[in-house]
Amino acid sequence: MIVEMRVGTTPEEIDGVVQKAKALGLGVQLNLGTNKTVVAILGSNTGQLTTDIFAVLPGVESVTRIMKPYKLASRGFKAEDSLVSVEGIEIGGRRVVVMAGPCAVESEEQVMQAARVVKEAGACILRGGAFKPRTSPFSFQGLEKVGLELLARAGHQWGLPVVTEVVDPHDVGLVSRYAALLQIGSRNMQNFALLTAAGRSRCPVVLKRGFSCTVTEWLTAADYLLSGGNSQVILCERGIRTFEDSTRFSLDISSIPVIKRFSHLPVIVDPSHAAGHRSLVPAMAKGAVAAGADGLLIEVHPNPEEALVDGLQSLTPSDFARLMDELRSVAKSVGRYI
């Protein structure tokens, strides 16, 4: 349930709503907007309560039942777009934020070179996996802590904040000591222990869409992060599994306007994992920006043919530089910049 307070409501009136919810055993979360305060009433049994319980309280403008399972991620709770700040880089504003780098951190030389090429081409966040969630236990699993150190060093050297994946709830503290942005991968979108741990952190999180999950399930997963008190949440569309097998996954471009309609959270797109082949990545990246994505997460490798992971879908440095030039004009045509 969403309780919208009147403009100019007093702190006592807001507290009246909070106390009423607490007395009913319900949780609350406040959105103290510039004009208006909105109180989300959280609990599994709000469906059985009449909205009048809150509508009659002083200072209440209206009470709306949210029929969707997600609340805190909804536009009903927060009408204005959320901005997420990653070491001063704002995501969700007019700038389209490009995050790029190798799928996995493989060596100091590889990640340093990757950082240099993505920086020179105009990316502003460096990506690189240190903990890799691999389908097979026999595949390269990442350099783990050493990988975090190498990634952070490369980011520091080239003035780029870093984004990297966390796969274990116990590693949220460790990974956030190195990363400016935590990535929760597609295979872990509904790993509720991991979401809960990342929700307790104050490190910004990029939540990738599970490749078999609906937008509603994705936003409900985001509620785990938001309800833990972490308001710094970015969504990432990375393709879903369909009957189509000419690409690795099917990039669901429609999820961008759908997210913009139903949620206040920024949404970025990873064309690399959706495409599965580097020849397809540029068109998908440009399409995403044209459709309103707030950023891109792109795999770039200094030497894709030698990559230990995802070489086929990784752009070469020169492909990436060319794409960045093309993206600048696409961004401009939709009133944004890179």
Query: Which residues bind to ligand PEP, rule: CB under 6 A?
Result: 103, 129, 133, 185-187, 208, 238, 270, 273
User: Closest by alpha carbon to 118, among 95, 98, 100?
Assistant: 100
89-91 and 267-269 as β-strands: parallel, antiparallel, unpaired?
Answer: unpaired
Token pair of 277 as six digits? 């082949």
Q: Cα–Cα distance between 8 and 61 in angstroms, integer?
A: 11
Cα distance between residue 220 and residue 223, in whole Å: 5
What is the closest distance, in whole angstroms, from the C-beta atom of residue 251 to Mn ion in the complex?
15
Least distance CB 315 / ligand PEP (angstroms): 14
Q: Which is nearer to Mn ion, 103 or 259 (CB)?
A: 103
Residue pair 36/7 in contact (Cβ under 8 Å)? The answer is yes
301 binds, among Mn ion, ligand PEP, none (CB under 5 to 8 A by kind): none
Residue closer to ligand PEP by CB (options 51, 250) is 250
* Separation of alpha carbons 105 and 149, rounded Å: 10
Burial of 187 by CB count in 10 Å (0-12 exposed, 13-18 middle, 19+ buried)? middle
Within the chain, what is the greatest distance between any pair of CA atoms? 66
Q: Which does 260 bind (CB under 5 to 8 A by kind): Mn ion, ligand PEP, none?
A: none
Number of residues that bind Mn ion (CB under 5 A): 2
Closest residue to ligand PEP in the complex (CB)? 185
Name the residue with the smallest CB distance to Mn ion.
Answer: 103
Residue (4 or 270) nearer to ligand PEP, CB? 270
CB of 299 to ligand PEP, least distance (A): 7
CA distance 166 to 129: 9
Among 103, 111, 166, 213, binds Mn ion (CB under 5 A): 103
Q: With CB cut-offs between 5 and 8 Å by kind, which of ligand PEP, Mn ion, none does residue 208 bind?
A: ligand PEP
Q: CA-CA distance, 288 to 270, in Å (whole number)?
A: 9
Identify whether the C-beta of residue 260 lies closer than 8 Å to the C-beta of residue 267. Answer: yes
Q: Which of 4, 171 has the CB closer to ligand PEP?
A: 171
Tell me whether residue 224 or residue 320 sits nearer to Mn ion (CB atom): 320
Query: Which one of Mn ion, ligand PEP, none is in contact with 186 (Cβ closer than 5 to 8 A by kind)?
Result: ligand PEP
Query: Whole-number minimum distance, CB 130 to ligand PEP, in Å?
Result: 11
Candidate ranges 26-34, 36-44, 188-196, 304-312; the one touching Mn ion (CB under 5 A): 304-312
Residue 123 DSSP label: -
Q: How far apart are CA 73 and CA 76, in angstroms?
A: 9
Instruction: Determine contact, residues 169/201, Cβ cutoff 8 Å.
Output: no
CB of 56 to ligand PEP, least distance (A): 47
Rounded distance between C-alpha atoms, residue 327 and residue 325, angstroms:
5
**91 vs 297, beta carbon nearer Mn ion:** 297
Q: Could you say whether residue 310 binds Mn ion (CB under 5 A)? A: yes
Nearer to Mn ion, 103 or 323 (CB): 103
Give residues in contact with Mn ion (CB under 5 A).
103, 310
